[in-house]
């Protein structure tokens, strides 16, 4: 799994105190760390960002994780989106917590355009649980039956495939087919519980 993250003054949203990558539960094969420094940044701001870079570099070298630091001009949005898309390979995990928001927006937009290669996109708040950001294509369209499924899921925290089939008077195979389509569109998620599949809305 590739891990792509943005950073600024801090690194603890990327690697925790035990040097584990935030949000992932499998081995990271390589990491790409994205940052920016404004031309008019103060000496202290530049030093803090460079210090964060050195901290990350040191930890990644100890972990023997291949890594690449990418410095970008934060205001070249379209150029950054194109560049970031090239880094998103199959099974890429994205953490856009740190650094300038405009850089995070570019990385998120690249993630939407390459969503088939993205495992997950997260934001790590200072307090509370990690927030997973849904990857919904801006040109997504829904069939009437897909809308029915989503309206049903709006009323409950989650449902099982069999329950949806009964509520909508359709076969389980038909519902399963449309559930898979909605999952590909980034609108729902399937959680396997033994033989059962729990369905939740993402947004």
pLDDT digits (tens, 9 = 90+) for 55-76: 999 999 999 999 999 999 999 9
Residue-wise pLDDT for 91-149, tens only, equals 999 999 999 999 999 999 999 889 889 999 999 988 878 998 888 766 678 899 999 99
Whole-angstrom Cα distance, residue 149 to residue 197?
15
Rounded-to-integer distance, Cα 118 and Cα 1, Å: 10
Catalogue all structural domains in the chain, each as residue range(s) with its CATH number: 2-132 (3.40.50.11700), 144-201 (1.10.10.10)
Q: What's the mean pLDDT in 173-191? A: 89
Question: What pTM did the predictor assign?
Answer: 0.74
Q: Report how far residue 161's alpha carbon sits from residue 179's, in angstroms, rounded to the nearest whole number.
A: 8
- Phi first, then psi, for residue 34 (nearest 5°) are -110, 135
Q: Which two tokens stand for residue 102?
A: 């405009």
pLDDT of residue 202: 75
Could you give the CA distance from residue 93 to residue 4 in angstroms, rounded to a whole number? 6
Angle between helices 144-154 and 172-184 (to 10 degrees): 90
């Amino acid at each position: 799994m590739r891990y792509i993250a943005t950073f600024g003054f801090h690194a603890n949203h990327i690697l925790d105190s035990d040097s584990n990558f935030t949000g992932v539960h499998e081995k990271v094969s390589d990491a790409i760390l994205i940052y920016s420094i404004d031309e008019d940044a103060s000496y202290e701001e530049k030093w803090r960002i460079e210090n964060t870079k050195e901290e990350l570099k040191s930890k990644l070298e100890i972990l023997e994780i291949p890594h690449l630091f990418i410095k970008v001009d934060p205001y070249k949005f379209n150029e950054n989106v194109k560049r970031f898309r090239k880094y998103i390979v199959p099974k890429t995990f994205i953490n856009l917590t740190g650094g300038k928001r405009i850089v995070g927006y570019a990385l998120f937009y690249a993630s939407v355009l390459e969503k088939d290669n993205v495992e997950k996109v997260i934001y790590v708040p200072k307090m509370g649980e990690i927030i997973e950001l849904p990857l919904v294509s801006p040109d997504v369209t829904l069939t009437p039956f897909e809308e029915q499924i989503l309206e049903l899921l709006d009323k409950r925290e989650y449902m099982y495939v069999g329950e949806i089939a009964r509520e909508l008077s359709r076969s389980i195979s038909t519902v399963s087919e449309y559930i898979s389509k909605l999952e590909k569109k980034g609108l729902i998620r399937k959680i396997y519980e033994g033989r059962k599949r729990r369905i939740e809305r993402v947004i």
